[in-house]
Amino acid sequence: MIEMKDVTKKYPNGVLAVNGISVNIKQGEFVYVVGPSGAGKSTFIKMMYREEKPSSGSITINGIDLTKLKEKKVPYLRRNIGVVFQDFKLLPRLSVFENIAYALEVIEENPRNIKKRVLEVLDLVRLKHKARFLPDELSGGEQQRVSIARSIVNSPGLMIADEPTGNLDPETSWEIMNIFEEINNRGTTIIMATHNREIVNKIKKRVIAIESGKIARDEVRGEYGYEI
Ligand code: ADP
Ligand code: ADP
């Protein structure tokens, strides 16, 4: 599904954040991306949804070469990629329902389908009863569940999560992982950058460790491998 070849990323300030990464990720895989702060994890995953462009090398997702993708085609790519952030990024003036429905309204889905689909994903994250709440009326874990629901409402084949449990307590983090496993079991590829060693060492998945912009380890059922 994802094929990176000799990818580098040098930011305009001269920082070489990714320095020659080649990797293949198959449909349905669950991959943790680990490594020290500043190692290049975020840059690595941002290039997968075209938030950043590589300086050299190629990235293909489902046969589409992202390095050749025209700017006006980027929204179509994004529809097949759900993105979840550490800080949720919900729209504060919209209700839970509206935050999730928004992604379908922009593609002009008909209102009846929107309602059905939003309630389906709210059910998956167990938040149907809070559909009318505003984000700041929810706990952090609940806000993250809304952002996960929003990310999968288009039924994307790929979900990218950058430190999704970074702002959450341990118990809430495990809840989030249960939801990710459920989404992954339904066939969605998940790529998750994380510093959560307990989760990585307990829920064993493929681990890609990035250090100084290079892949330092790539293991099928890997360990977190760092002290912090
Ligand atoms: P990680 O996610 O592993 O902490 P990042 O990909 O965020 O690493 O950062 C890798 C390196 O690139 C760091 O040295 C960081 O300071 C630098 N960097 C990240 N984003 C930018 C940017 N937009 N402009 C310049 N340098 C950046
Ligand atoms: P958690 O233990 O998951 O962090 P909290 O203790 O923050 O949860 O919240 C417990 C419950 O109270 C949650 O269901 C949340 O929706 C509700 N709640 C928290 N803050 C507010 C608020 N400012 N307004 C309304 N409801 C809230």
> Which ipTM score applies to this complex?
0.76
- Domain assignment present for residue 177? The answer is yes
State how beta strands 206-211 and 30-34 pair.
Answer: parallel
- Domain assignment present for residue 60? The answer is yes
* Whether residue 148 sits in one domain with residue 160: no
| Residue from 182, 165, 148, 191 nearest 46 by CA | 191
Domain boundary, last residue among 152, 178, 203 = 152
Predicted structure pTM score: 0.89
* Whether residue 62 sits in one domain with residue 4: yes
95 C-alpha to ligand 1 centroid (Å): 33
Domain count for the chain, please give it.
2
Judged against a pLDDT cut of 90, whether residue 109 lies above it is answered with: no
Domain boundary, last residue among 135, 152, 169 = 152
pLDDT digits (tens, 9 = 90+) for 50-72: 999 999 999 999 999 999 999 99
* Whether residue 163 sits in one domain with residue 148: no
CA separation, residue 21 to residues 26, 54, 210, 212, 213 (Å): 16, 11, 9, 11, 8
Helices (DSSP H) in 80-154: which residue ranges? 96-105, 111-124, 140-152
The rounded distance, in Å, linking the Cα atoms of 76 and 69 is 10
Give the structural domain span for 48. 1-80+156-227
pLDDT digits (tens, 9 = 90+) for 173-199: 999 999 999 999 999 999 999 999 999
Judged against a pLDDT cut of 90, whether residue 226 lies above it is answered with: no
Domain boundary, last residue among 128, 152, 176 = 152
pLDDT digits (tens, 9 = 90+) for 125-183: 999 999 999 999 999 999 999 999 999 999 999 999 999 999 999 999 999 999 999 99
* Whether residue 71 sits in one domain with residue 52: yes
- Domain assignment present for residue 29? The answer is yes
40 C-alpha to ligand 1 centroid (Å): 6
- Domain assignment present for residue 191? The answer is yes
User: Amino acid identity, residue 170?
Assistant: P
User: From atom 7 of ligand 1, which residue's Cα is the shortest distance away?
Assistant: 42
- Domain assignment present for residue 190? The answer is yes
Write out residues with Cβ below 6 Å of ligand 2: 137-142, 172
Judged against a pLDDT cut of 70, whether residue 228 lies above it is answered with: no
The token pair at 209 is 């460790």
Three-state DSSP state, 96: helix
- Looking at the chain, the number of H-run helices and the number of E-run strands are 7, 10
Share of the chain above pLDDT 90, in %: 93
User: Amino acid identity, residue 147?
Assistant: S
- Domain assignment present for residue 179? The answer is yes
The rounded distance, in Å, linking the Cα atoms of 134 and 108 is 23
Report, as an integer, the average pLDDT of 29-52. Answer: 97
Q: Which residue has the tokens 């999968």?
A: 152
Please indicate whether residue 76, judged by its CB atom, sits closer than 6 Å to ligand 1: no
* Whether residue 48 sits in one domain with residue 10: yes
The ligand placed nearest to the CA atom of residue 226 is 1
| Residue from 100, 186, 193 nearest 147 by CA | 100
142 C-alpha to ligand 2 centroid (Å): 8
* Whether residue 161 sits in one domain with residue 147: no
Contact 131, 114 (CB under 8 A): no
Judged against a pLDDT cut of 90, whether residue 108 lies above it is answered with: no
- Domain assignment present for residue 165? The answer is yes
CATH number at residue 53: 3.40.50.300
| Residue from 87, 1, 100, 103 nearest 48 by CA | 1
The ligand placed nearest to the CA atom of residue 47 is 1
226 C-alpha to ligand 1 centroid (Å): 19
